[in-house]
Structure 1
Amino acid sequence: MAKAEQIKALIRSHLKRDDERFVTIALQLAANEAKKGHSTLAHEIRSLVDQRTESNVTVVSISDDLADLVQQGNLTGELTSLVVRDELKKRIERIVKEFHQAEKLARHGLGNRRKILLSGPPGTGKTMTAAVLASQTGLPFYVIQIDRLVTKYLGETGAKVRQIFAMIRKRPGVYLFDEFDAIGAQRGSENDVGEMRRVLNALLQFIEKDDSRSIIVAATNNLSALDSALFRRFDDILNYDKPTIDEIVALIENRLGTFKGRFSAASIAKKAIGLSHAEITQACDDAIKDAILSDRKKVTQACLAQTLFDRKAAYSN
C-alpha cells in the first residue's frame, strides 16, 4: 500500500487544489505499486489520472501545434535493463529516490533533482535513461525533437519553445530534449546566427525559471559544443561512454536471453569493442533473427561474431 507521507501529501494537494501536485503524487503511487508487482492497481491509478472527464485533475494532451515536435516515448521498464557503470546507475537511482521523496526535501527548503544533462556518444544509453526515469517515477515520457524545432520553425522557434515549457508546467512528465546541442550551441560560434542566439537566451531563462513537477532531461553527443551558461542550469550532469568488456558481456547475455547458445559471452566480447550499447543490441537482435529464420532455437557463437563484424564493417566503407 501507499506510504503514509504520500497519502498525506495527496490529501494536502487536493485540499489546496494543487492539481499539478495531485497528478504527480498519484503517478508516484502508481510507480510504487508497479515496483511491488501490483501492475493491475498501477494501471488503474494511471487510467484514473488520464480520465479527465471522470476526474477533477486537468491533464493536458499534446496540442496540434506541438504534435510533430513532442512525441510520446516508449517506457523501457526496470533500471536493471540499463547496462551502464555502477557509479552512473547510482546517480540515476538518486534522481528517482529524490523524486519519490520530494515532499520530505521540500519541508527542508530543498528541491529534488529535476533538470538533468546527459552527455556521450550516440547509442550509449541516454534516451533509455530518460525512459527508465519515466518508468521508475510513473511519469509519462515525452521526446522533444529539437532538430525539427530548429530547422522547420526557424523564425518561430522562440514561440515554440515557450509552448513546450507551458506544456512542461501543465503536464507533469519526463521531457527529453534530444540532440540538445542543436539549440544549445555556444553563443559566438561560427554557426551562430542572431535568431539562434535569441532562442538560446530564451531557453536559458525557461530552464532556470522552470519550477514545475516535471523532470527535464537534455541529451547531447557533444558536450563541448554547449554554451557554458547552460551547465549551471542543470542539477546533475551524467557522462556516458561506450561499454567496457564487462558491460559488453552483460549486454550480450541480457539481450540474447534464452536464445544464447552454449558459448561464453566473455569469449566474444572483444569483438564488440568500439561499438555502442545500441549497436551491440542490434547485432544481438540480428543474430536472434538469423536463428529464428534458420529454425534454430539458439544463437551460435559464429553467428553472433558475424553480426558484430557486420556492425563494425559499416564504419570502414
Structure 2
Amino acid sequence: MKKKDIINLIKYHYDHDELQFRETANIVAKDFDNTGDHQLAEYVLSLMSSTNTFVPQEYTFESHFFKSIRTDDTTALPLPNIIAQDIRGIINAVNHHMGINKFLFEGAPGTGKTESAKQVARLLSRNLYMVDFNTLIDSEMGKTSKNIAAVFNEIDRMPAPDSVVILFDEIDAIAMDRVNNNDIREMGRATSSILKALDSLNENVVLIATTNLFSKFDRAFIRRFDSIINFDRYEREDLVDIASAMLNKYLKQFKSSKRDIKLFQKIIECMDPIPNPGELDNLIKVSLAFSDPNDSFDYLRRLYRTTQNQIGDPDLNVLQKQGFTIRQIETLTGISKSQVSRELRGKTNE
C-alpha cells in the first residue's frame, strides 16, 4: 500500500468526494490482496459495500429563503421506466463530474417532480435544500433581483458545494416569458439576474428546478439547463401500477383492511382519465382513512363511489357494464352473489 493512497483517502474524505474515496479504497484492497493479505482485502471491500461512506453535515443558510428537506424517509418512487431511466441518468451524470449539474423537471402538478428531486438527493447522499421562488418575489421595485442575488451568493459561499442538492420549486414565478409579465421591466431584471447566476453556478452544486408551465418559459432560461426531464409520460398502465404500489404501502398501516388487488385495479381502470400520482395518492389515502375498521373492504367501496362521483349505492347494471365480476359486485355493494345474479338476469330478461 502506497503512502499517497492513505493521503488521498484522507483528502477525499474531507472533500466529500465519495466516488474518488471508493476508487482509492478499492486500490488499497487490491494492494492487500496482491501482497497475500486476502482477508484484509475482503474486509475493506465488505466495508465499502455495506455502508454509506459519507453522511453529509447539515448546513445552515443565513437567509430564510432556504428550507431543509428530509430525504431519509423517502422511499423509491414507482415511476414509469422511461422517467426512472432519466433519474438514473442524472445520478450517472453527477458522478461522472463532467459539469452537468443543472436539471429542469417539467410536467403537470402531481407527476412526482418534487419527490424525484428527493430521490436524487438521497441517491447522491446529499442534503436537499428547497427555495420556494414565490417567496423571492417582492412588490418593492428591485427587491426581487436582490433576493435572487442573495440566494445565489449563499450558494456560492457554501463550504461543501458537493454535499448539497438545491431545489428551486415552482420556478414559474420568475422564469415565465418576460413579455407575459405585468411588470415587464422588473421581471426582466429578475430573469436576467437568475440567468447570469446560473451561468456562473459552481459545478459541484446539483441544482434542480421544477415547473408546471414549461410551455410559457423564457427560452433563454431553458437554455441554461443541462437537461430537461418531462414528467408527463405516464401511460394508463403505469398509473394503475403506481396506484397498486401506493395501496400496498398504505395497507401496512391498516391491518383490518384486506387486499383485493384485482378489484382495486379495476376501480382505477374505470377512471377516465386516470389522474396523476399526486391525486391518486390522496384518493387512496382518504378512502382508507375514512373506512370502517370493522369492514375489511369499505375502503374499496368508498374509492369506487369517489372516483365515479356517486352518492348512493352503485347500480348493478352499471357495474356489470364496467366489467366487474359477480364476486366483485358483491364486494362493492354488500349484496350476495346469488341475489346479484338474479337481479342482473331479471334486468336482462326485461
- 1:1-317 superposed matches below 5 A: 11-13=10-12, 22-23=15-16, 25=18, 38=50, 41-42=51-52, 45-46=54-55, 49-50=56-57, 60-63=59-62, 66-67=63-64, 69-75=65-71, 77-78=74-75, 81-102=76-97, 110-111=98-99, 113-151=100-138, 155-169=142-156, 170=158, 171-172=160-161, 173-241=164-232, 243-257=234-248, 259=251, 261-264=259-262, 265-272=264-271, 273-291=273-291, 294-296=293-295, 300-309=299-308
**1:270 and 1:179, CA in 2 relative to 1: closer, same or farther beyond 3 A?**
same
**What is the distance in 2 between the residues matched to 1:207 and 1:155?**
19
Greater CA drift, 299-308 or 277-286: 299-308
- Percent identity for Structure 1 against Structure 2: 23
SS, match of residue 188 in structure 1: helix
Of residues 130-139 and 260-269 in structure 1, the stretch that sits farther from structure 2 once superposed is: 260-269
Contact 1:27 1:45 in 2 (8 A): no
What letter corresponds to residue 69 of structure 2 in structure 1?
G
Q: CA deviation at 1:160?
A: 1.9
Deviation at 1:27, TM superposition (A): 12
Give 1:205's aligned amino acid. Answer: K
Structure 1 residues 179-227: Cα deviation after superposition (integer angstroms, max 9, x where no partner)? 2111011122252432211111010011111124121111111112111
Structure 2 match to 1:53: none
The 2-side partners of 1:77 and 1:92 are apart by: 15
User: Deviation digits for residues 138-173 of structure 1, max 9, x if unmatched?
Assistant: 111111110111147663222221222233231531
For the 8 Å contact 2:290–2:299, the answer to whether it is kept is no
Cα distance, 1:186–1:28 mapped onto 2, change above 3 Å: farther
Mapped contact 2:114–2:210 kept (Cα < 8 A): yes
* Matched residue SS, 2:16: helix
Taking structure 2 as the reference length, the TM-score comes to 0.67
SS at match of 1:124: coil
Letter paired with 1:200: T
Question: Is contact 1:179–1:220 with CA below 8 Å preserved after alignment?
Answer: yes
Quote the residue 1:54 is aligned against: none
Cα 1:280/1:7, change in 2 over 3 Å? farther
| CA RMSD, Structure 1 to Structure 2 (Å) | 3.2
Secondary structure, in 3 states, of the residue corresponding to 1:23? coil
Total equivalences in the alignment: 268
Aligned partner letter, 1:252: A
Q: In 1, are the aligned partners of 2:166 and 2:206 still within 8 Å (CA)? A: yes
For the structure 1 residues 299 and 242, does the alpha-carbon distance in structure 2 shift closer, same or farther, using more than 3 Å as the test?
farther
Q: Give how far 1:131 is off.
A: 0.7
* Cα displacement (A) at 1:174: 1.3
Partner residue in 1 for 2:325 = none
Bigger relative contact order, structure 1 or 2, given CA contacts below 8 A and separation 6+?
1
Greater shift, 265-274 or 200-209, is seen at 265-274
Residues of 2 paired with 1:100 and 1:310: CA distance? Answer: 48
Are the counterparts in 2 of residues 249 and 266 from structure 1 also a CA contact under 8 Å?
Answer: yes
Q: Tell me if the contact between 2:288 and 2:299 (Cα under 8 Å) persists in the aligned partners.
A: no
Higher Rg of the two aligned structures? 2
Structure 2 CA distance, aligned partners of 1:7 and 1:231?
44
Stretches of structure 1 lacking an aligned partner (at least 5 in a row): 1-5, 51-58, 103-109, 312-317
Gaps of 5+ in 2: 23-44, 252-257, 311-350
Going from structure 1 to structure 2, the CA distance change for 1:37 and 1:26 (only over 3 Å counts) comes to: closer
1:235 and 1:256 map into 2 onto residues whose CA distance is 36
